[in-house]
Structure 1
Amino acid sequence: MIKGIIFDKDGTLFDFNATWGAWARTMLEAETAHAPALFAPLADALGYDTVANRFRPESVVIASTAGETAEVIRTILPDVPKDVLLGRMNAAAKQVPQVEAVPLVAYFDGLRALGLRLGIATNDAESPARTHLARAGVAAHFDFIAGYDSGHGGKPAPGQLLAFCDHTELRPETCLMVGDSTHDLHAGRAAGMRTVGVLTGPAPADELQPFADVVLPDIGAIPDWLAAENLIIR
């Protein structure tokens, strides 16, 4: 039986490109305002399609930590100190309107009603993650929230997921990891959890399927799948 679910955030709770696509162009333009010729190389380094204003499926941004993304930016803008860049990125990220994959308050009310323990494991920093969850009205639904900077590492390593298990006193085999990238699914497998891929991020189904127990259109399909697999009691 499944007793706990830990979710990725971007691309899972929130549609990735609908949330970050347009914002990213503004960020790239701001970072290269002093040297507009660097806009295209920076966009290319980050896997950003400047015509469609979307991240390409192979973009490093999709699954990397904010710190790793900052290091990629610094390959094009080496004079920007990493701590300054990260501070600017985190402050800006807090302001980005999040496009919910499904209506989140009703969704997490339903999962709580099933008696499930809930967590967040994101490669975003913890502070903007908490801001996004609070703005969506769901921060209080979670027993555990971890960013890459929360002391448990980042995905695809399983540290955040195992910390969730420690915090909730649940065994990994009774938990589900849900995410939109192979980093999420690798972390889930490494932690000994079942894994669910969702298609609200840039990764296509065939990329996720080898590492997922199931690939679903979005998180809204999870309760029915759990019931069909006899993994929860409704």
Structure 2
Amino acid sequence: MTVLRARGVLFDKDGTLFGFEATWSAFAAETIAELAGGDAARAASLGRALGYDLAARRFHRDSPVIAGSTREVAELVAGALPGTSAEALEPWLAARAAEAPLAPAVPLAPLMEGLRGMGLRLGVMTNDSALSAEAHLLTAGIAEAFDFVAGADSGHGAKPDPAPLRAFATATGLSPAEVVMVGDSLHDLVAGRAAGMQVVGVLTGPALEADLAPHADAVLRDIGHLPDWLLSDVAAEEAREGR
């Protein structure tokens, strides 16, 4: 009889299901240009506020956008653009983000089908908006694979608060210890650990293995390696016992 490390998997979205740089870097440059309206000084101010290198067209590793909620990003933008408000910018940013061109970290449909076939309950918890998360999952053709999808605006809170992660466990009838949280940032891993879950880091976001390893049960190149990780200890134990 095969025994898995977990009965549920809760994924982060950006940098985990979708490659962070490939999805968001060019999109950010376009959005900054649109917000700046052709004003180079405004664009530079936005780049500094968002931790984005305009020349290299990529986010700095410590950018607050990487793990930030849509609301937090709206506040950063408003702080860099006098005369604007986070309240007005937040829905605009959410709608723009929902249209971002996606770069799946791995072929997602077969992976999710395989995980469901292993009897796992699946969820997504992102600090992006729920609107953006649902749009991206629909576009990727994997929305129906998930039992639970939440954004920072879904009423459960935002990572690194463990509350939205525990909401997944509650919704699926699992104990937190039966769930593995998979993400590319310290926010994901800290939230998962605080929720009492297993935690796995992936390297499809800006963070390096050295950043994630001290806080994770394992660090994988990408989520495509997750099925093997879920079974690896079981296989080793059965080999030792001659089964």
TM-score (norm 2): 0.93
Task: Indicate whether 1:183 and 2:170 are aligned.
Answer: no
Q: CA deviation at 1:220?
A: 0.4
Distance 1:97 1:27 in 2: 13
Which residues of 2 match residues 81-120 of structure 1 at below 5 A? 81-120=85-124
Q: Which segments of 5 or more consecutive residues in structure 1 lack a partner in the other structure?
A: none
The match for 2:34 is 30
2:70 alignment partner, one of 66, 70, 85: 66
Amino acid across the alignment from 1:25: A
Task: Indicate whether 1:126 and 2:153 are aligned.
Answer: no
Amino acid across the alignment from 1:209: A
Q: Which segments of 5 or more consecutive residues in structure 2 lack a partner in the other structure?
A: 236-243
Amino acid across the alignment from 1:157: D
The match for 2:238 is none
Higher Rg of the two aligned structures = 2
Moved over 3 A (4+): none
Q: CA deviation at 1:100?
A: 0.3
Q: Percent identity?
A: 50
Amino acid across the alignment from 1:144: F
The match for 2:227 is 223
Whether the 8 Å CA contact 2:123–2:148 is kept in 1: the answer is yes
Distance 1:220 1:197 in 2: 12
Distance 2:82 2:210 in 1: 36
Q: CA deviation at 1:32?
A: 1.0
Whether the 8 Å CA contact 2:75–2:85 is kept in 1: the answer is no
Q: Deviations over 1:169-214 (max 9, x none)?
A: 1000011000000000001001000100000000111111111001
Q: What is the alpha-carbon root mean square deviation over aligned residues?
A: 1.1
Q: CA deviation at 1:34?
A: 6.2
The match for 2:163 is 159
Q: How many residues align?
A: 231
Whether the 8 Å CA contact 2:27–2:101 is kept in 1: the answer is no
Amino acid across the alignment from 2:133: A
TM-score (norm 1): 0.96
